[in-house]
Amino acid sequence: MSSVPTNRLLIVGNFLSGSKVTRSVCEELAARLSEKDWRVLTTSPKVRRPSRVLDMASTTWRERDRYEVAQVDVFSGGAFFWAEIVCWVLRRAGKPYILTLHGGNLPRFSKGRSRRVRRLLGSANAVTVPSRYLLEEMKTYREDLHLLPNGIDLHLYRFRLRDRPAPRLIWLRAFHEIYNPSLAPRVLALLRTRFPDVRLAMVGPDKRDGSGEATRRIAAELGVFDLIDWSAGVAKERVPDVLDQADIFLNTTNFDNSPVTVMEALACGLCMVSTNAGGMPYLLSDQENALLVPCDDARAMAAAVARILTEPPLAARLSGNGRKLAQDSDWGRVLPKWQRLIGAVREGHAA
């Protein structure tokens, strides 16, 4: 007789990978827990935002007899209102729930809405954050936050020590203004005189806010368009191979929290050059596992890349320490913490 999962959980977030969107953290969590004797219900895969929030709320109520506890993702902007609606439904249904905070912009969003944020966070049985940045910035609204990093499968990322890196750069994010993609070709233009064989791969979906078009235009104006390998995106399972083809990762973002792509690059041993936006100084240590530079400063970022290319001991230190940092995000370490927390909330214990 086959065993039937007795742990029943509802996860409320963006389940959009079926619409050719990168698989989200909540999708990964749902898949992992399903493999560990949890019966997991999920919502929502709806692409249109009004349909998605309606699906989240209706599923939460309609399926209330099929789950014992819920986990709800919380973002800034309109998505914060969605979380408020879902949590109201959960309270009406008498279900305990865990909130998971996301996004580098959430602290700024919260400052003008402190009463709403404090009320929502206070209503939950537990609140988790994926980064030390959100842990520090959001503890004003609730002190007992749980730090649970975004998980990765460390064994899938082949490590190669970059002690003598080649001028092969990679940028792996979405083409959206918050990630400031146009900074990458500006850095490339500054590097090509000193390093004539420098190349850059820009990989990511275009969010159609004009950032992708502007990045390509700037690259053409600076004469580096043909030095860039442009890619609209890559399947999750191919990310390790794509990263392995480069030696230096450029993180050009203006807002950030604890991006999975950065941890993936560190796991592979790439030397990290990142802006000091948002949560990056909380995640990365300058000179130890990354070089941090001011936002939108092409000269500072190009100088950091040049240091890595000309200082082998520095490159080796960043590469090796980056891998060590990524080990803390391995699902083998993160998932048991999730299971203990969800179990404690389900049983009504202080979490």
- 74/129 same-domain check: yes
The number of beta carbons lying within 10 Å of the beta carbon of residue 18 is 10
Is 189 in the same domain as 244? yes
Indicate if 104 and 128 belong to the same structural domain: yes
> Which residue do the tokens 């898949």 mark?
31
Q: pLDDT truncated to tens, each residue of the chain (351 aa)?
A: 445 457 999 999 999 876 555 678 899 999 999 999 899 999 999 999 999 999 999 999 999 999 999 999 999 999 999 999 999 999 999 999 999 999 888 999 999 899 999 999 999 999 999 999 999 999 999 999 999 999 999 999 999 999 999 999 999 999 999 999 999 999 999 999 999 999 999 999 998 999 999 999 999 999 999 999 999 878 888 999 999 999 999 999 998 888 899 999 999 999 999 999 988 999 999 999 999 999 999 999 999 999 999 999 999 999 999 999 999 999 999 999 999 999 999 998 755
Domain with 136, as residue range(s), is 7-151+330-347
Q: What is the predicted pLDDT for the residue at 20?
A: 55
Same domain assignment for residues 130 and 158 = no
Q: Is 225 among the domain residues? A: yes
Give yes or no: residues 200 and 249 share one domain: yes
Q: How far apart are CA 192 and CA 171, in angstroms?
A: 17
Q: State the Cα–Cα distance between residues 283 and 300, nearest whole angstrom.
A: 20
Q: What does the pLDDT look like over 256-274, one tens digit per residue?
A: 888 899 999 999 999 999 9
- Number of domains, the chain: 2
Q: What is the CA radius of gyration of the chain?
A: 21
159 neighbors 268 (Cβ within 8 angstroms): yes
- Residue 13 sits in a domain of what CATH number? 3.40.50.2000
Asked if the structure places residue 2 within a domain, the reply is no
In this prediction, residue 236 carries a pLDDT of: 83
Give the model's pLDDT for residue 23: 76
E strands, the chain, in order: 7-12, 38-43, 69-74, 97-101, 126-129, 145-147, 168-172, 199-203, 228-231, 248-251, 271-275, 291-293
Residue 90 lies inside a defined structural domain of this protein: yes
Q: Give yes or no: residues 186 and 274 share one domain.
A: yes
Together in a domain, 95 and 186: no
The reply to whether 340 and 299 lie within a common domain is no
Of 66, 84, 89, give the one whose Cα is nearest residue 9: 66
Q: List phi, psi (to 5°) of 98.
A: -115, 135
Dihedral sign, Cα of residue 59, residue 62, residue 63, residue 65: positive
162 and 280 together in one domain: yes
pLDDT tens digits, 130-151: 999 999 999 999 999 999 999 9
Quote the pLDDT of residue 1.
42
Query: Are both 220 and 265 inside the same structural domain?
Result: yes
Assess whether 159 and 147 both reside in one domain. Answer: no
The pLDDT value given to residue 350? 54
In a domain, 68, yes or no: yes
Instruction: Identify whether 1 is part of a domain.
Output: no
Q: CA angle at residue 87 from 84 to 90, to 5 degrees?
A: 155
pLDDT at 2: 45
Q: Locate tokens 């159609």: which residue? A: 208
**Residues with Cβ < 8 Å from 220, sequence gap 6 or more?**
none
Tell me, yes or no, whether 280 lies in a domain.
yes
306 and 334 housed in the same domain = no
Answer whether residue 164 is part of any domain.
yes
